[in-house]
Amino acid sequence: MLGTSRKHSKKRDAILQALRSTDSHPSAHWVYERLKSSIDGLSLATVYRNINLFQQEGSVVSVCVVDGKERFDGIVEPHPHFVCTCCGGVFDFSYPDFHLFTTVMDNHKGVEEFKIDYQKTVFYGLCKYCAEK
C-alpha cells in the first residue's frame, strides 16, 4: 500500500485479493459475483466503494470501460493494455520497448509545458482469437 492507514477487513482484503489474483482485468460486478457466496453480507455497493478506495490509495488502477463496465488492474506499475473490440477482452499488452517510452516520459516530468502525473496506454483492435474467426 502507498502509506495508507486504512483499516483491514475480511471483505476489503478479499476484494483486493480478487483483483490481484487474475489477469482478466475484472469489473466490480465480476469481483462481486466471485465473492458473494463466500462472504456474508457482501454487496455490489461494498465492492464499488472499496475499489474506489483502492484507486485513491494507488493499489488498483482503472484500465478502461468495456460494454459500460469499468475494468481494473491490481498491477499498478505502468504497462500497456489491449482491448479487443469484438469480444471485449482486456489483456496486458507485451510491447518490447515500452520501458523506453516510460523512461523518456519520466525524464520529462518537469518540463514547462506539462506536468505528467501518470500515463495510461490502451490499444484497441482484435485479439488473435477474434481475428482468426
| Among the listed residues 131, 36, 118, the one whose alpha carbon sits nearest the alpha carbon of residue 82 | 131
Choose the CATH number for 77-133 among 3.40.50.300, 3.90.480.20, 3.40.190.10, 3.30.1490.190: 3.30.1490.190
pLDDT of residue 60: 96
Question: Mean pLDDT of successive 10-residue segments in the chain (133 residues)?
Answer: 63 96 96 96 97 95 95 90 95 74 56 69 94 92
Locate the domains of the chain by residue range: 1-76, 77-133
pLDDT in the model for residue 2: 47
User: Global pTM?
Assistant: 0.80
Class of 1-76 in CATH: mainly alpha
Q: d(Cα 101, Cα 76) in Å, to the nearest integer?
A: 17
